[in-house]
Amino acid sequence: MSTNLNIVLKRASKIYHEGDVIAGIVVVENSNDVRHEGLTLAMEGAVNLQLSTKNVGIFEAFSNSIKPMNLINTVIELAPAGKIPLGVTEIPFEIPLRARHPLPGAPAGCGLLETYHGVFVNIMYTLKCNMKRSFLNKPLNTSCQFFVQYKPQEAIPCKPVRCEISPSSVRRGGGGVGGGAAGGGGGVMPRFHIYAEIESSVCPLDRPLTGKIRVDECSVPIKSIELQLVRVETCGCAEGYSKDATEIQNIQVGEGDVARARELPLHMVLPRLFTCPTTSTVNFKIEFELNIAVIFEDDYLVTENFPILLVRSR
């Protein structure tokens, strides 16, 4: 005798906005009549924070105090205790998507944050169905993840960014966070002059990030030109914060010794679950940066860093 539970949402994309009604069915498939002590459906949403291992020693005193932040916790009864007949039974449900309380960092009028899968910060929303049974039988459980997005806001004006990368700019920048160039690799810094442009540092999530790069001069052959998208996650509490930058994706723009004085287009589609609108709350921040990396033949590396603002706009 076997019984299977499954949650099927009416909306195939599984994308919802705050205030929407999540509708679907719970499918119970069993080979015999099944008695149960009640069938419930729970909607849960939480922010999970995790400190990086390199910071555990520094923040041991408060590492255990970073608890999940509950955004939603709603439970409804689908069926009272009784019996489900043999075969396939479909139980419809509707549950409103509303936050427990407004969360600082969400746009005005919103209490929920967008779904986001990061390294040290995760924002997830889940439906969980539970069938209670007698003490001789284990309860049956199934779950289904859905995705929350903000409603598109008014478009924000573009903020183009232009820069020139040269040995002097690399020495001035020093690789500091927040912009500027950095160089490294163990070899001798070659002579070069590179022009880069990002069409806007304010990037709507549903549009590609675009720009161009041009190598005007270079005394040594170039091995590769790459475009890197980086997440910067900050999490902690009143006692201190842990800040970590990790790569989301890397796109090779040019391979080999590219032609001089010729523009190469930059084009990057932002990944769906690994990006979200730039977010800042009391306990955590999610920020994003763009790196243009030029690797020379002797593996000497030069990078230019652009902080970017991701938004959900029309």
Structure tokens given for 203: 């990037």
Is residue 176 over pLDDT 90?
no
Helices and strands counted in the chain (H then E): 1, 22
Query: pLDDT tens for residues 141-155?
Result: 999 999 999 988 888
Higher-pLDDT residue of 52, 80: 80
pLDDT for residue 299 = 85
- Looking from the CA of 47 toward its CB, the CA atoms found within 13 Å total 25
Confidence of residue 96 (pLDDT cuts 50, 70, 90): very high
Cα–Cα distance list, 201 to 55, 126, 152, 211 (Å): 30, 33, 18, 10
**pTM for the whole thing?**
0.85
**What percentage of residues in the chain have a pLDDT greater than 90?**
59
Is residue 55 over pLDDT 90?
no
Q: What stretches of 98-154 adopt beta strand conformation (E)? A: 116-117, 121-132, 140-148
Is residue 47 over pLDDT 80?
yes
Is residue 131 over pLDDT 60?
yes
Cα–Cα distance list, 24 to 11, 12, 89, 93, 94 (Å): 8, 10, 13, 6, 7
pLDDT for residue 154 = 85
- Mean pLDDT, the chain, integer: 86
Distance of CA 9 to the CA centre of its chain: 23
Alpha-carbon distance 306 to 84, whole Å? Answer: 59
Across the range 129-134, mean pLDDT stands at 90
Report the b/e string of 30-56 with b at 16+ CB within 10 A: beeebebeebebbbbbbbebebeeebe
Is residue 62 over pLDDT 60?
no
- Looking from the CA of 157 toward its CB, the CA atoms found within 13 Å total 1
pLDDT for residue 183 = 60
Alpha-carbon distance 22 to 93, whole Å? Answer: 8
Across the range 65-74, mean pLDDT stands at 83
Is residue 280 over pLDDT 60?
yes
Is residue 288 over pLDDT 90?
yes
Alpha-carbon distance 151 to 313, whole Å? Answer: 8
pLDDT for residue 190 = 86
Confidence of residue 32 (pLDDT cuts 50, 70, 90): confident
Is residue 61 over pLDDT 50?
no
pLDDT for residue 184 = 62
Alpha-carbon distance 81 to 134, whole Å? Answer: 11
Nearest to 79 by CA among 22, 26, 140: 26
- Looking from the CA of 183 toward its CB, the CA atoms found within 13 Å total 19
pLDDT for residue 238 = 57
pLDDT for residue 189 = 82
Is residue 233 over pLDDT 90?
yes
Is residue 63 over pLDDT 60?
no
Contact between 109 and 103 under an 8 Å Cβ cutoff? The reply is no
Highest mean pLDDT among 53-57, 81-85, 250-254 belongs to: 250-254
Cα angle for residues 276, 118, 109 (degrees, 5° grid) = 35
Nearest to 30 by CA among 79, 81, 87: 87
Is residue 33 over pLDDT 70?
yes
299 backbone dihedrals φ, ψ, rounded to 5°: 70, 15
Confidence of residue 185 (pLDDT cuts 50, 70, 90): low
Residue 12: which residues within 8 A CB-CB, separation 6 or more? Answer: none
Higher-pLDDT residue of 177, 5: 5
pLDDT for residue 100 = 74
pLDDT for residue 186 = 55
Contact between 9 and 23 under an 8 Å Cβ cutoff? The reply is yes
